[in-house]
Amino acid sequence: MTAGYTFLTVHRPAASTMASALAAALGAEAGDVDVADEDTAPGDDRNWDAPVLCTHHPVAGDLALAWDVSVSDALTSPPSDLRADRDG
């Protein structure tokens, strides 16, 4: 089973910046996080075995990007503040 989250940003951080931020928030290594644009072809250097998969796409209005994140149960539990939002 995986947990799913969506984050919205008003800026367009680089994929490596988002990977580092997600790794820190989830207690993972940056290499355990795969981040790609929604237009990236499935075979284009994606690490589909990564415990954290993140795909971003542009959104309209005052926001810049939506980041769809899937976290594998193989990874330690998400931080309690994220878990509370999912369960509540």
SS (HEC) of the chain: CEEEEEEEECCCCCHHHHHHHHHHHHCCCHHHEEEEECCCCCCCCCCCCCCEEEEEEECCCCCCEEEEEEEECCCCCCCHHHHHHHHC
54: exposed, middle or buried (C-beta count within 10 Å: 0-12, 13-18, 19+)?
Answer: buried
| 33-80 tens-digit pLDDT | 999 998 877 667 788 899 999 999 999 999 999 999 999 887 765 555
This prediction's pTM:
0.78
